[in-house]
Structure 1
Amino acid sequence: MIRVLIADDSAIVRAMLGQVLGDDSRFEIVGMAENGKHAVELCLELKPDLVVMDINMPILNGIDAIIQIKEKMNPAIVAFTTEDTAEIGYKCLDAGAIDVVQKPNLATMNRHKIENFCDQLTIISEAYRKHMEKSNELRNIYYAQSLAKEIIKGKNTQPEKQEQLRFSVLAIGASTGGPVAIQKLLRALKPLFPLPIIITQHIDEVFDTQFAKWLSNTTGHEVKTATDGEILQAGHVYIAPSKKHLMLKKKSDRNYAIVLDDSEEVHFLKPAVDKMFTSCAEVVGSKTLAILLTGMGQDGAQGMKKIHDAGGYTIAESEKSSVVFGMPKAAVDMNAVTRIEDLDYMGEIIRTITGATRG
Structure 2
Amino acid sequence: MNAILPAASPRTLHRVPVRVLMVDDSAVSRSVIGRIIDDAADVNLVSRVSSPDEAFAFLAEQRVDIILLDHEMPGRKGLDALPALLDAAHDAHVIMLSSHCQRGSKTAVAALSIGASDALAKPSAMDSGPEFAEQLLSRIRRLASARCQNSAEADRLILRPFPEGFAVHCIGIGASTGGIHALAELLSAVSARPGSPVLITQHLPAAFISHYAKQVARMTDMPVSIARDGEVLRDDHVYIAPGEASLSCIRDGAKVRARLIAERDMLSSARPSVNPMFAGMAQSYGAGSLGIILTGIGRDGTAGASAVVKAGGAVIVQDETSSTVWGMPGSAARAGLVSACLAPHEMPHYLRAHFGLG
TM-score range, shorter-chain basis? 0.7 to 0.9
Report the equivalent of 2:119.
Answer: 101
CA distance in 1, matches of 2:78, 2:308: 41
Relative to structure 1, the CA distance from residue 312 to residue 114 in structure 2 (aligned partners, 3 Å threshold; closer, same or farther) is farther
Relative to structure 1, the CA distance from residue 69 to residue 335 in structure 2 (aligned partners, 3 Å threshold; closer, same or farther) is closer
Is 1:55 matched with 2:56? no
CA distance in 2, matches of 1:344, 1:208: 23
Is 1:241 matched with 2:242? yes
Is 1:326 matched with 2:346? no
Please give the per-residue CA displacement for 1:11-47, whole angstroms capped at 9, x wherever unaligned. Answer: 4443333333332222111222344444445544655
Report the equivalent of 1:76.
Answer: 93
Relative to structure 1, the CA distance from residue 244 to residue 43 in structure 2 (aligned partners, 3 Å threshold; closer, same or farther) is same
Report the equivalent of 1:152.
Answer: none
- TM-score (structure 1 length as normaliser): 0.80
Q: Which amino acid aligns with 1:229?
A: G
CA distance in 2, matches of 1:43, 1:86: 29
Report the equivalent of 2:24.
Answer: 8
CA distance in 1, matches of 2:345, 2:157: 15
Answer whether contact 2:297 2:326 (CA < 8 A) is retained.
yes
Answer whether contact 1:5 1:43 (CA < 8 A) is retained.
no
SS in 2 for 1:189: coil
Report the equivalent of 1:156.
Answer: none
Answer whether contact 1:175 1:295 (CA < 8 A) is retained.
yes
Please give the per-residue CA displacement for 1:72-113, whole angstroms capped at 9, x wherever unaligned. Answer: 443432223524883234443565x432323264757656x7
1:61: how far off? 0.7
Please give the per-residue CA displacement for 1:184-214, whole angstroms capped at 9, x wherever unaligned. Answer: 1122233422111101111133322222211
Q: How does 1:81-160 map to 2 (within 5 A)?
A: 81-83=100-102, 86-93=105-112, 95=114, 97-103=115-121, 105=123, 110=130, 114-115=133-134, 117-125=136-144, 127=146, 143-146=158-161
CA distance in 2, matches of 1:308, 1:351: 20
Answer whether contact 2:317 2:341 (CA < 8 A) is retained.
yes
CA distance in 2, matches of 1:283, 1:197: 14
- TM-score (structure 2 length as normaliser): 0.80
Report the equivalent of 2:263.
Answer: 263
Q: Give the RMSD, CA atoms, in angstroms.
A: 3.2
Report the equivalent of 1:293.
Answer: 294
Equivalent residues, number: 335
CA distance in 2, matches of 1:197, 1:258: 11
Relative to structure 1, the CA distance from residue 300 to residue 67 in structure 2 (aligned partners, 3 Å threshold; closer, same or farther) is closer
Relative to structure 1, the CA distance from residue 203 to residue 295 in structure 2 (aligned partners, 3 Å threshold; closer, same or farther) is same
Q: Which amino acid aligns with 1:76?
A: H
SS in 1 for 2:338: coil
Q: How does 1:341-352 map to 2 (within 5 A)?
A: 341-352=342-353
SS in 1 for 2:180: helix
Please give the per-residue CA displacement for 1:126-170, whole angstroms capped at 9, x wherever unaligned. Answer: 545887x99xxxx977542225xxxxxxxxxxx9xxx44233210
SS in 1 for 2:105: helix
1:262: how far off? 1.1
Percent identical among aligned pairs is 27
Relative to structure 1, the CA distance from residue 30 to residue 190 in structure 2 (aligned partners, 3 Å threshold; closer, same or farther) is same
Please give the per-residue CA displacement for 1:255-277, whole angstroms capped at 9, x wherever unaligned. Answer: 32222221135423111111211
Please give the per-residue CA displacement for 1:294-347, whole angstroms capped at 9, x wherever unaligned. Answer: 212111101111111111112233333333222122223333334444434322
* Bigger RCO of structures 1 and 2 (CA < 8 A, at least 6 apart): 2
Q: Which amino acid aligns with 1:146?
A: P
Q: Which amino acid aligns with 2:269?
A: F
Relative to structure 1, the CA distance from residue 295 to residue 234 in structure 2 (aligned partners, 3 Å threshold; closer, same or farther) is same
